């Protein structure tokens, strides 16, 4: 059983390293000191913290994944909060050239286009000086807990991930294709993957009425990585139907009344490109760049989900024929990043949601 303790300030659940005397929260930076029973000798490590550690699974919860821990209510309605993750896997055989570039461009867009306060954005990349902002599995989990903690009507939440994705065989029958979609944190080889079931339970199911969550996931096999109940299947001509992906088991994968919408880099059986084919000057995720380009210089907040999705798909399709460009967003990429290697494109961004809607009538607004 994992050893967890509630942080002394924000009450985020923290995983306790063996033998630790204290632990620091990456969200509020408060230090929680650990105490042992004052009886005889310190108990064996496997039995330590019995009075202050909660098990990672509480039977009263509908799933084995903890929701955001309780915390003080926000001081005002209408907040905007974001978690941005960019992982390069530097010096490994799986190194990605454009993921940190994606994260920088997305942060710039959120602050300057959508008026997200910089203090309300948690940035997780290998370039961060704070060790708690390195995109390890535990740090990503804690950031996602923070994202939904205390959310209430009027809040707009945003999650962007650029990095490797994977999938693994599903055994509980809640996947139409038989596979769970996963994100690969920096330490995935030692700590494991972050599975779609956990992502759904952490940032989708807790959402109350009036809260809006958008996720932009630029990774392989990411079509249904938030495990949302409905997928918008769109043809090249722009016609679409909503596919019902609710599990046959009856497990609810939607929210607690809030709105959750995900745009992913590709379908569940496709890969996402890390390429210079779109920006012409630096490696970026094809999907992230097409999203930033659309929101920066084409339609912005006036676009609907349908026009946004079509625009992103058309941009990716046309990249190999050298039709992409756009001096404004290209200058942005040049300002924030450097140039790297190109890659091939074979992907179609996907749209999933808690509930079906008219994609050509509903405006895309963060």
Catalytic residues: 164, 220
Give the SS3 label for residue 357. coil
Residue the block writes with tokens 């509930």: 355
- β 165-169/80-86 pair status: unpaired
Q: Which of 240, 217, 196 is nearest to 358 (CA)?
A: 240
CB 106 within 8 A of CB 121: no
Residues 6+ apart with CB under 8 A from 77: 152, 153, 154, 155
Q: Are 207 and 257 in contact (CB under 8 A)?
A: yes
For residues 283 and 101, the answer to whether their CB atoms sit within 8 Å is yes
Tokens encoding 43: 């108990």
Distances (CA, A) of 172 to 68, 197, 234, 245: 24, 11, 28, 14
For residues 227 and 139, what is the distance between their CA atoms, to the nearest angstrom?
A: 21
Give every CB contact of residue 64 below 8 A, 6+ residues apart in sequence. 56, 57
Strands 4-6 and 13-15: antiparallel
β-bridge partners, 28: none
CA distance 279 to 326: 8
- For the range 89-93, what are the long-range contacts, defined as Cβ-Cβ under 8 Å and sequence gap of 24 or more? 89/163, 89/164, 89/186, 90/126
Place of tokens 């967890």: 4
**154-168 burial string, b = 16+ CB within 10 Å, else e?**
ebbbbbbbbbbbbbe
Within the chain, what is the greatest distance between any pair of CA atoms?
74
């Amino acid at each position: 059983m994992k050893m967890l303790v509630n942080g002394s300030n924000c009450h985020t659940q923290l995983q306790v390293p063996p033998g630790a005397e204290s632990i620091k929260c990456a969200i509020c930076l408060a230090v929680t000191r650990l105490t042992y029973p004052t009886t005889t000798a310190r108990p064996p490590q496997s039995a330590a913290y019995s009075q202050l550690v909660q098990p990672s699974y509480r039977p009263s919860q509908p799933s084995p994944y903890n929701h955001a821990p309780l915390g003080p209510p926000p001081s005002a309605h209408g907040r905007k909060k974001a978690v941005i993750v960019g992982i390069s896997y530097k010096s490994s055989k799986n190194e990605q050239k454009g993921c940190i570039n994606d994260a920088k461009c997305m942060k710039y867009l959120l602050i300057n286009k959508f008026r997200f306060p910089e203090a309300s954005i948690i940035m997780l990349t290998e370039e961060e000086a704070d060790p708690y902002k390195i995109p390890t599995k535990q740090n990503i989990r804690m950031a996602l807990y923070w994202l939904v903690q205390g959310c209430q009507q009027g809040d707009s939440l945003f999650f962007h991930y650029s990095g490797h994705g994977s999938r693994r065989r599903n055994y509980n029958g809640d996947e139409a294709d038989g596979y769970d979609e996963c994100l690969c944190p920096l330490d995935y080889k030692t700590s494991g993957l972050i599975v779609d079931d956990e992502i759904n339970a952490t940032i989708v199911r807790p959402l109350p009425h009036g809260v809006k969550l958008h996720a932009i996931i630029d990774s392989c096999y990411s079509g249904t990585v938030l495990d949302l109940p409905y997928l918008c299947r769109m043809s090249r001509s722009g016609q679409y139907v909503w596919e019902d992906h609710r599990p046959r088991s009856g497990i609810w994968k939607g929210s607690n009344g809030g709105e959750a919408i995900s745009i992913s880099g590709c379908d569940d059986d496709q890969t996402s490109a890390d390429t210079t084919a779109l920006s012409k000057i630096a490696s970026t995720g094809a999907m992230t760049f097409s999203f930033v380009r659309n929101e920066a210089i084409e339609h912005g907040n006036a676009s609907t989900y349908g026009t946004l999705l079509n625009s992103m798909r058309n941009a990716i399709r046309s990249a190999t024929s050298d039709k992409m460009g756009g001096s404004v967003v290209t200058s942005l990429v040049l300002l924030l990043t450097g140039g790297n290697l190109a890659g091939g494109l074979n992907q179609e961004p996907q749209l999933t949601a808690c509930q079906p809607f008219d994609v050509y009538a509903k405006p895309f607004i963060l």
